[in-house]
Amino acid sequence: MVILLIIGGSASQKLAANVAQELGDWLCPIETKKFPDGERYLRVKGKIDKEAIVIQSTGFPQDENLIELLFLIQNLKDLGVEKIKVVVPYFGYGRQEKRFKEGEAISAQIVANLIENAGANEIVSLNLHEDSVREFFNIKSKNISAMGAIGEYISQIANDPIIIAPDKGALHFAEEIANILDCSCTYLNKVRLGPDKVETRIADIRCDFPADDPEFAKLTETEKNKKEKQVNIELVKGKEAIIVDDIIATGGTIVNAIKILKEHGAKSVSVCCVHPVLVNDAVLKIYAAGAKLIAGTDTLKSEVSSISVAKVIADALR
């Protein structure tokens, strides 16, 4: 098995090396650079095999990283590789998975088609913004979760924390982590007013289900366990609050959540995410709002990428 190391301005070199170490596989060097006119050059330098794993996130600069990924896949096919597993730890363009306004390009679908048509035989990604993105692929696809790695990290930095989802869409992350750590969780209500403007309010959570409540009785055991972990925001008082989300982009979502948690008396507020996209001064904004710590995974390289998903990826590839 060959693992391709992405080098020279590419997105996932260290992560690929760590995955190779986890799997005990060979890391194949490539050469990638730009011609003076800005066009990309790519060469696979090592000996190749019948199977290969390509690891490349398609975060900023999205178009460059995507082109490099497509060059890699199709080049490997041309060079005789028969099976290519493509790992895109952060799937750029994944947030436009439908037409929100008439006439919009469904970018996630276009990118999925490009990757598949280049010759990918299998695709693995982490915490896709919408799992439905997998439906754009006709090849085998996996959407794996980094929550196990994040949960383990939180267990080392916090004592009996409360896990906060900054919006209802992130509640399943908070529930997953609360389950791992056997602690409580809650969520906030967020409305997006524009790409960099969000409004957040507290949510009125129903967490007083008596065992004979017909609504509660309808739930599966797993759902009941999750519900029982949910508490109202008042219980954040005096606790170490940990906000968990899939993506931090402008930081607006997190800044709003921190404000509410502080107003409700949280002892400290830390922030964890899977994909630290971190647009412009997002890190500064979040610390200025009073965060004790920000930690993201290494699906994207950033100054806060301190949680590795190498093992999670390696396990999905075994």
Residue 167 or 240 with smaller CB distance to ligand R5P? 167
Residue 53 or 174 with smaller CB distance to ligand R5P? 174
By CB under 6 A, is residue 250 in contact with ligand R5P? yes
CA separation, residue 187 to residues 58, 68, 202, 204, 257 (Å): 29, 38, 8, 9, 9
By CB under 6 A, is residue 247 in contact with ligand R5P? yes
For the beta sheet containing 162-165, the strands, ordered from the edge strand earlier in sequence to the opposite edge, are 197-202, 184-194, 162-165, 240-248, 268-276, 293-297, 305-307
Strands 26-28 and 2-4: parallel
Alpha carbon distance 86, 193 (integer Å): 35
**What is the closest distance, in whole angstroms, from the C-beta atom of residue 286 to ligand R5P in the complex?**
9
Alpha carbon distance 287, 289 (integer Å): 5
Please enumerate in sequence order all residues whose Cβ is within 8 A of that of 294, keeping only pairs 6 or more positions apart, or say none: 248, 270, 271, 272, 273, 276, 283, 286, 287, 304
By CB under 6 A, is residue 246 in contact with ligand R5P? yes
By CB under 6 A, is residue 302 in contact with ligand R5P? no
Residue 134 or 311 with smaller CB distance to ligand R5P? 134
Task: Check if 190 is active-site.
Answer: yes
Strands 184-194 and 197-202: antiparallel
By CB under 6 A, is residue 253 in contact with ligand R5P? yes
Alpha carbon distance 293, 241 (integer Å): 11
Q: Which of 85, 190, 226, 239 is catalytic?
A: 190
Footprint of ligand R5P on 137-166 (CB under 6 A): 166
Candidate ranges 32-40, 46-54, 68-76, 241-249; the one touching ligand R5P (CB under 6 A): 241-249
218, with CB counted inside 10 A (0-12, 13-18, 19+), is: exposed
Its sign, for the CA torsion 294, 299, 300, 305, is positive
Residue 10 or 256 with smaller CB distance to ligand R5P? 256
Footprint of ligand R5P on 163-192 (CB under 6 A): 166-167, 169-170
Residue 59 or 251 with smaller CB distance to ligand R5P? 251
Residue 85 or 275 with smaller CB distance to ligand R5P? 275
Alpha carbon distance 93, 59 (integer Å): 8
Q: Which of 144, 136, 96 is nearest to 120 (CA)?
A: 136
- Take residue 260 and report the two structure tokens written for it: 């509410």
Candidate ranges 71-79, 141-149, 250-258, 295-303; the one touching ligand R5P (CB under 6 A): 250-258
| # residues near ligand R5P by CB under 6 A | 14
By CB under 6 A, is residue 94 in contact with ligand R5P? no
By CB under 6 A, is residue 59 in contact with ligand R5P? no
| Among 22, 175, 240, 245, contact with ligand R5P (rule: CB under 6 A) | 245
Q: Which residues of the shown chain bind ligand R5P in the complex (CB under 6 A)?
A: 166-167, 169-170, 198, 245-253
Catalytic positions are: 190
